Structure formats: structure tokens, C-alpha cells
Amino acid sequence: MSADLSILHLITGASFLVQLVMLILVLASVISWALIFRKGRQLKAARLAMEDFESRFWSGADLAELYREVAAQEESRRGGENIFCAGFKNYLKLLKQPGLSPGEVLEGTRRVMRVELNREADALERHLPFLATVGSISPFIGLFGTVWGIMNSFRALGNVSQATLAMVAPGIAEALIATAMGLFAAIPAVIAYNRYITDVERLVNRYDNFLEEFSAILQRQSRER
């Protein structure tokens, strides 16, 4: 008598707990892939936006004119544009306040830009912890399903007088599917997390470099006044 070892038959024939483990892993995998594609588009858009803004910023355009242009794009601006708008707006505001030294104006402007930079970094890092969690715990969830399935297979052997490989093969096979599904959910999540966290760090470093360079420009302007 041969056992049906097709994937679908093994899944439908698995115990409730093993099926629950498989369902959790499938949901984790689906959500992970959705986040992977979404985060990839977000980081690509942020990188292209920063490249475009830096080219406009360093083209020699008047800062006040650039500020008016960027401020009018409130719905679509991001990254360096938000840092620039927040900093230049606060810089103009502080210049109008009497009794402030150039150093105090610059320090206040830097604080505002640093806060905006942290907001941008938080937006870029959003949902990345979920990918890290899926990558770290999915293999163990799958292993739990595997252990439970194999345990049930060996428990069933205790009720028969003569054990054969055909009797335990389906149970072991369905248990191993849980491990495979755990790896299938974990591996893409780990790869995407490592790739995206590196991209985020590079973008944040670009934002930070721009903040310092823009601060130096504002410092020179405040001394000339």
C-alpha cells in the first residue's frame, strides 16, 4: 500500500496544530513580501528624490527662491527637501527675533533640522523590524510544527504491532513541510532586511551630510549680515 505524499495531501492531512503553524508561516510570508515590495519602492523613491534635490540645491539657485519652490510641494516633498524647508523656515524666523547672535540662530536651526532628520529616518525604518522578526522566528515556528508532527507520528506507532516506513513517512513528510515553510518565510525577510537597513543608513548619512553642509552655508550667510 503506497501513501500519497503529494504536498497538498500532506498539508490537508496534517494535524490541526501543524496546519495552524503552516497558516501562520504563510501569512508571515505574504505580509513580508508585501512589505519587501513596498519598502523597496519607498527607498528607491527617497533616493531619487534626494538626488534630484541635491542637484537643484547645488546648481547655484537662490536659497529663498528654492525654499519657495520646495515649500509649495508640501504633498510630494520628502527627505532632504523636508530638512531644507524646516531649517530655512526656522532660520528666517530666528533672524527676525532681536537679540539673537549668529551662533544662536544657527544652533536653533540645526536643532530643527536634526528633529526633521530623525522623523525622516523613522519613516524609512518603519516596518523593517517586522522583517527582522519574521526572519528570526519563522524557522523556530516551523521547527515547532516539525517536532509536533514527528511526535504524533511516533505516538501513532505505539498503537500498532508492526511498524513500517509507509506508516510514518506521511507524518514525517508533513512535519518537514513546516520547516521548509519556515525557511521560505525567513530567508527573503532576512535578505530584504539586511539590504534595506543598509540602504536606510546610506540615505540617513546623505541627509546628515546635507544638514552639515547647509548649516555651513547658513553660518556664512549669518556672519555676512
pLDDT digit string (tens) for the chain, length 225 residues: 444 456 666 666 667 787 888 899 999 999 999 999 999 999 999 999 999 999 988 888 788 888 898 888 877 888 889 999 999 999 989 888 887 788 888 899 999 999 999 999 999 999 999 999 999 999 999 888 888 877 777 776 666 656 565 666 666 777 788 888 899 999 999 999 999 999 999 999 999 999 999 999 888 877 666
pTM above 0.85, yes or no: no
Residue type, 112: V
- By C-alpha distance, which of 69, 112, 83 is closest to 211? 83
Q: Which residues of 139-175 are buried (b: 16+ CB within 10 A; e: fewer)?
A: bebbbbbbebbbebbeeeeeeeeeeeeeebebbbbbb
| 186 touches 134 (CB < 8 A) | yes
Q: What does the domain layout of the chain look like in residue ranges? A: 7-224
Distance in angstroms (rounded) separating the CA atoms of residues 185 and 32: 8
